[in-house]
């Protein structure tokens, strides 16, 4: 096997990739599949930080649109990310990947508190670090949390695993003529309001020169191929 081109990455997964066939909840089969995709890069001794969204369980903004207080909705979303994180930790450890879940909100019975130096130390010891609870503050998405933690932890790239093959000019699930971008600048994403990640996340990555690779996590082997240098999905950079 060739050598990885990255030594430390931040993998951001949408909560939807864990959901069952009805688009809700946590599917044990999907969680096991994700663990199997992550294991080869763990075996390649790449430092892995991992953040999962909560869209398969709860979306704070949608709840707010329905009348719930936005702050309350966001905290419920943070709790949902912890559920997803613990599920994935369980699957990873079953296949021999030493994993720690660190949470930005205190749930000490099930996860360690997120402390930057502790997260880095776990990585240095060869452990996968799953970071739950978003940023620990309302009004910030898990995309923003991914950009923030990537910056804090010295990640070389943000790998955003989704259910489509990259970034398109329109929704590829609705439009058959949607055009896929191979490369994009941060400026183009902001200018054209492309819904890759929220603007806070894009700006943070831009300011710290952290590229973003958007790819289809549902295609087996894509994650490992990217780590080994293949050009898959859409690359966003300067």
pLDDT at position 65:
79
Please report whether residue 95 resides in a domain.
Answer: yes
Q: Which two tokens stand for residue 104?
A: 């930005």
Domain span at 205: 8-237
Q: Report yes or no: 44 and 194 within 8 Å, Cβ to Cβ.
A: no
**Residue environment code for 103-124, b if the CB has 16+ CB neighbours within 10 A, otherwise e:** bbbebeeebbebeeeebbebbe
| Domain count along the chain | 1
pLDDT at position 1:
58
pLDDT at position 34:
97
Please report whether residue 3 resides in a domain.
Answer: no
Q: What share of the chain is helix, strand, coil (3-state, %, to 5)?
A: 40, 20, 40
Please report whether residue 2 resides in a domain.
Answer: no
Q: Which two tokens stand for residue 164?
A: 């489509």
- The Cα-based distances of 132 to 105, 119, 137, 179, 222 in angstroms read 8, 12, 12, 33, 24
Please report whether residue 130 resides in a domain.
Answer: yes
Q: What CATH number does residue 196 fall under?
A: 3.40.1160.10
Cβ atoms within 10 Å, residue 27: 17
Task: Give the pLDDT means over successive 10-residue stretches in the chain (238 positions).
Answer: 91 93 91 98 97 89 82 93 97 98 96 97 98 96 96 98 92 89 94 90 96 97 96 95
Please report whether residue 233 resides in a domain.
Answer: yes
Please report whether residue 83 resides in a domain.
Answer: yes
Please report whether residue 1 resides in a domain.
Answer: no
Q: Tell me which residue has tokens 């949470």.
A: 103
């Amino acid at each position: 096997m060739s050598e990885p081109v990255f030594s430390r990455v931040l993998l951001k997964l949408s909560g939807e990739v864990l959901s069952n066939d009805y688009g809700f909840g946590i599917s044990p089969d999907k969680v096991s599949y994700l663990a199997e995709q992550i294991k080869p890069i763990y075996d390649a001794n790449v430092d892995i930080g991992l953040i999962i969204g909560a869209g398969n369980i709860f979306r704070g903004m949608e709840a707010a649109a329905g009348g719930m207080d936005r702050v309350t909705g966001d905290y419920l979303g943070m709790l949902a990310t912890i559920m997803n994180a613990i599920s994935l930790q369980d699957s990873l450890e079953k296949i021999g990947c030493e994993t720690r879940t660190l949470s930005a909100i205190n749930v000490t019975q099930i996860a360690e508190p997120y402390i930057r130096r502790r997260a880095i130390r776990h990585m240095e010891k060869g452990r996968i670090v799953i970071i739950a609870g978003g940023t620990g503050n309302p009004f910030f998405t898990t995309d923003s949390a991914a950009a923030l933690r990537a910056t804090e932890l010295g990640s070389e790239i943000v790998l955003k695993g989704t259910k489509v093959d990259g970034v398109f000019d329109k929704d590829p699930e609705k439009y058959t003529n949607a055009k896929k971008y191979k490369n994009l600048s941060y400026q183009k994403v902001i200018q054209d309001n492309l819904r890759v990640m929220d603007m806070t996340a894009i700006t943070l990555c831009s300011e710290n020169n952290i590229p973003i690779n958007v790819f289809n996590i549902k295609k087996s082997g894509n994650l490992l191929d990217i780590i080994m240098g293949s050009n898959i999905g859409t690359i966003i950079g300067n």
